[in-house]
Structure 1
Amino acid sequence: MNNGISPKAPAKEKIKSDFESLIRGMNWTGMIDCIAYDHLFDGAMPMFNKMYELGKKETTTWHPYPKEKPKSYTKAYLVTIVKHYGKSQVKKVEKDTWADSKECGEWEMFDNRPDTEVIAWAELPEPYQPESKE
């Protein structure tokens, strides 16, 4: 559905608009009344925002390396590496530090290994926080 939303709008706004169209259609056809529509709309929109924020926290965004390089020196990142074993290869996720080396930067553990290639990096996730028991 388009619902007057720009094709360039963020995915979150497109989903919210689709939901709003769905419940508006239910209201127009008499499946729900105006009070139910208001409750659904007012209750669901904050939930969409919470789900979006949760999704951002739980998503890893990979940056192709060396096309994109970290901007923070002496900071740890997740890296996807390819280990070369003769003609075979193994991809793994490791942790490495992007270090300032003659102002050009390098991975401390994996940059100078002829059998290992860093192909992507990502920010480390936030530490686990148990949910409060409110």
Structure 2
Amino acid sequence: MAEREGVNLEELKKKMAEFARERDWDHFHSPRNLLLALVGEVGEVSEIFQWRGEVQRGLPDWKDEEKQHLGEELSDVLLYLVRLSDVCGIDLGKAALAKLEMNALKYQVKLCKGSSKKYTQLKAEDKDGNTSTDDAQRISDPHDA
């Protein structure tokens, strides 16, 4: 595949489906198997960072080979995620945009700018920094990522 800009999720989805179909791998690509493969690849990305301590943006101290290796592992994560979403019938692009919109409501700029607190903590605090337990429990979402 020639190097170019602007690859989209739909293109990746089609290429992954074709890749699996050509190799007769569709029967292996159950949601469970794809999820486990995805988790394994995330573990490989984690391993790259495991003993490095904090890493600067842009990875200025990394060798080209290290960056290339990271790119390969991140690509594996992306490709398994795209394949999993396709097999599950989820439009990943639409789901991601919807999630961004939900997060924009949860993490309103005026409440969270410069803070790493979870949205339940931000909304539960009054202007004096006092927290209402009732409010925090009422707006808590156990399914939130």
- TM bucket normalised to smaller: under 0.3
Comparing both structures, which one devotes a greater share of its residues to helix? 2
Structure whose residues are more often strand by fraction? 1
Higher relative contact order (CA 8 A, sep 6+): 2
TM-score (norm 2): 0.26
Greater C-alpha Rg: 1
